[in-house]
Amino acid sequence: MPLPSAIQPAWPLLKRAHLTATRGVGAVTRRATSLAGERAVPSIGTVSVDETARLDPQHVRIHEGGPAEHLVREVPFGQPAQHWALERRADYVVPRRFTLEISDGAIVGNYAAHITPGGVLDYETSTYFGVTGWKDHPIFLRARLPQMEHVEGTLVSLATRGSHANYYHFLLDVLPRYGVLKETMPDVRPDAWFVNTGSGYQRQLLGMIGLGDVRVVQPGKDVAVRADTLLAPCIPNPDLIAPTWTTGWLKENLPAKETADKPTRLYVTRGSAKNTRRLVNEDEVMARLAPLGFVSFDPGAHSVQEQIDTFTRAEVIVAPHGAALSNLVFCSPGVKVLELFAPKYVNPCYWTIADNIPDSTYHYLVCGEDHRPPGSPMNGVLTDITVDLRDFEQALQRLLDA
């Protein structure tokens, strides 16, 4: 679950402590894993499904899908120019698509860690935030796994890191995994689905793609299940890079319906709660936007379909960095976007979505200076944003003139 707002500023320190603890505890639990029986943590991990299949060939099978995708993108215009956090995502190879099948496979936790009967953690389908490899996976903070429940038949794992509480990860990671399953195993008829349904938007989105009435195993911190057959489609959006296949699949399967009454110029608000990446001087910004025809849009006050319809209609969008910009997926060709960042959290995930839209224009404005060297951790995840109004007016005019 998200941290309480009062301690959000401590997130970078807590993350470092979490990684340190994971490495230390994991080194012990992996050595003592045989003592826990069925509840033992994985004894080893792999970097790819191919290695997982090699280590446990009796239980593992790979169903191939589409090929790898080499993305080459031009770094967008913004202030400061050629920001390194965007530049490093300009050239990226997205791995091939596949579904991993594990006979008698287990799945553990909110982060949906997939484990073979031989005790192998498949890291490629079980990735986690801010870690560099399988040894840092938070499953190794456990002395032993939760009590296993058995699921008869075929269980499909759609959940992944962050999908229990974040609109972006549910939209860009969870739903396309269903698309991968349909591509790689079109005739499969699952008995149950491991997917979050606790939020209204999750239930809405699942219903919109035809999974509204399926049997669900609800992920949770202390949930562990073993299925006769576990299917884990690949995470088709690794490193938040928005492959063209992913955004194309979403737009095709979640079409707009009623757009005629929607505004063409949007300012997307994040509200007024502290430590949420809100825009502190939002009233002053809106005083400049409103005369230009911009309407403030609060996505949390609208259904998913209304969000899709609104973003489809929009011609110009201004917003602080936030999950509502996931809806850029549904924008029409020619849309113009200005994204506002705090200096210690510049994230390329919405630029990469916008870059997939034909004839789009994406600009960014980093609101403040980061005196750390390039490559420093982008750990100011929920830092509030205060924009210099002169810089903002200039950035907005450049966007409108583009």
Tens of pLDDT, residue by residue over 177-206, are: 999 999 999 999 999 999 999 999 999 999
Domain 265-401 has CATH 3.30.70: no
Nearest alpha carbon to residue 155 among 182, 191, 102, 187: 191
Distance of alpha carbon 402 from alpha carbon 392, whole angstroms: 15
Q: What is the DSSP string of 248-296?
A: HHHHHHS-----TTS-SEEEE---S-SSSS-BTTHHHHHHHHGGGT-EE
Can you give the residue ranges of every domain in the chain? 22-69+95-239, 265-401
pLDDT at 31 over 80: no
Query: Which DSSP helix (H) or strand (E) runs through 374?
Result: none
Tens of pLDDT, residue by residue over 124-171, are: 999 998 888 899 899 998 888 999 999 999 999 999 999 999 999 999
Q: Using the structure block, give the residue that is written with the tokens 């794992």.
A: 157
Share of the chain above pLDDT 70, in %: 91
Is residue 183 within 8 Å of residue 67, measured between CB atoms?
no
pLDDT at 30 over 90: no
pLDDT grade for 39, boundaries at 50, 70 and 90: confident
Distance of alpha carbon 127 from alpha carbon 100, whole angstroms: 14
Q: What's the predicted TM-score (pTM) here?
A: 0.91
Is residue 119 within 8 Å of residue 42, measured between CB atoms?
yes
Is residue 351 within 8 Å of residue 83, measured between CB atoms?
no
Is residue 30 within 8 Å of residue 140, measured between CB atoms?
yes
Better-scored residue on pLDDT, 12 or 250: 250
User: Is residue 104 exposed (0-12), middle (13-18) or buried (19+ Cβ within 10 Å)?
Assistant: middle
Distance of alpha carbon 367 from alpha carbon 365, whole angstroms: 6
Query: What's the angle, vertex CA 71, arms to CA 67 and CA 76, rounded to 5?
Result: 160
Distance of alpha carbon 220 from alpha carbon 38, whole angstroms: 19
Tens of pLDDT, residue by residue over 204-229, are: 999 999 999 999 999 999 999 999 99
Q: Identify the pLDDT of residue 2.
A: 47
**Cis bond leading into 80, ω under 30°?**
yes
Is residue 326 within 8 Å of residue 352, measured between CB atoms?
no
Q: Which two tokens stand for residue 135?
A: 């040894």
Q: Sign of the C-alpha dihedral, residues 230, 234, 238, 240?
A: negative
Q: Using the structure block, give the residue that is written with the tokens 């990226």.
A: 92
Q: Using the structure block, give the residue that is written with the tokens 């399988």.
A: 134
Tens of pLDDT, residue by residue over 344-376, are: 999 999 999 999 999 999 999 999 999 899 999
Q: What is the mean pLDDT of residues 35-50?
A: 85
Is residue 71 within 8 Å of residue 242, measured between CB atoms?
no
pLDDT grade for 113, boundaries at 50, 70 and 90: very high
Q: Which two tokens stand for residue 365?
A: 């404005």
Q: What is the DSSP string of 157-201?
A: E---TTTTT-HHHIIIIIHHHHHHHHHH-TT---SEEE----SHH
Distance of alpha carbon 226 from alpha carbon 115, whole angstroms: 9
Share of the chain above pLDDT 90, in %: 84
Query: Which DSSP helix (H) or strand (E) runs through 13?
Result: helix 11-31
Residue 84: CB atoms within 10 A of its CB come to: 13
Q: Which two tokens stand for residue 187?
A: 């005739």
Distance of alpha carbon 351 from alpha carbon 356, whole angstroms: 9
On average, the pLDDT of the chain sits at: 92
Q: Using the structure block, give the residue that is written with the tokens 């992920």.
A: 219
Is residue 174 within 8 Å of residue 195, measured between CB atoms?
yes
